[in-house]
Amino acid sequence: MPRGKGERRSRRIPEATVARLPIYQRILVELQRLGAATTSSEELGRMAGVNAAKVRKDLSSLGTLGTRGTGYDPRLLIAQIDRALGADRDWPVVVVGMGNLGRALVNSEGFSSHGFHVSAVFDVDPKVVGAEVAGLVVRHADRIGELALAGAPAVGVVATPASAAQGVVDALVGAGACAILNFAPRVVTVPAHVLLRYVDLSIELQIMSFYLTGRAPEPAGLAPIRSVGVSQPGAAG
């Protein structure tokens, strides 16, 4: 049974590839902005800091997206990556904590594209509650429970001080969030069915300092992807 370009039925996408897809995507958007009608595995690799063979393997796991002898069409690639990552769905995102970090997140491009949209924001500071941030009225965090997230799978983002993190996580889970992205520097726990990831803004800095010490040479000539998060389905404290 023949299929149109870009189709591929449920071949598993390797974990390492999933982690690189968002990076290719950013580059593709960039290339498109610069007016490129075509690109190649070599160009993408150069810009992403990975080698061309890896780019081809990664992209081929999504389907047959290129044209031999010619290259790839950025527009098609972007669409296929979006689809693979689930960006063709609609993901409500709830952000708790409207300090500098929370505001930065809510206003960032990444939080209002790829299928995400910020649907509610919370804080506890009376000076902030009631104010408007990115077009949304900030509600008091005590009212997280009033959210009805149970319908669509929703993501809760924690951008509070460390001391408030666990309480906020509990409230978000109680309201039906099925994934938590924790920016607060504190280990938290969730029930087993909730997806949990941490982001630590200084981890990249620490990894950098390791390679700057010269204790090890920076990995390979063109180097790999690195980490800032841990995922733990059902972590314990």
Partner DNA sequence: CTATGTGAACACTTTCACAGCA
Partner DNA sequence: TGCTGTGAAAGTGTTCACATAG
Interface residues with DNA (CB under 7 A)? Answer: 14-17, 40-42, 50-54, 56-57, 59-60, 64-72, 220, 222, 224-225
Supply the minimum distance, in Å, between the C-beta of residue 61 and DNA: 8
Supply the minimum distance, in Å, between the C-beta of residue 145 and DNA: 36
DSSP codes, 69-138: TTEE-HHHHHHHHHHHHTTTS-EEEEEE--SHHHHHHHHSGGGGSTTEEEEEEEE--TTTTTSEETTEEP
Contacts of 33 (CB under 8 A, 6+ apart): none
CA distance 198 to 186: 9
Q: Which range touches a copy of itself (CB under 8 A), out of 61-69, 121-129, 143-151, 190-198?
A: 190-198
Q: Which range touches a copy of itself (CB under 8 A), out of 41-49, 65-73, 143-151, 164-172?
A: 41-49
The answer to whether residue 8 forms part of the interface with a copy of itself (CB under 8 A) is no
Q: Minimal CA–CA distance to 24: which of 7, 39, 5, 8?
A: 39
Among 65, 78, 93, 171, binds a copy of itself (CB under 8 A): 93
Nearer to a copy of itself, 67 or 106 (CB): 106
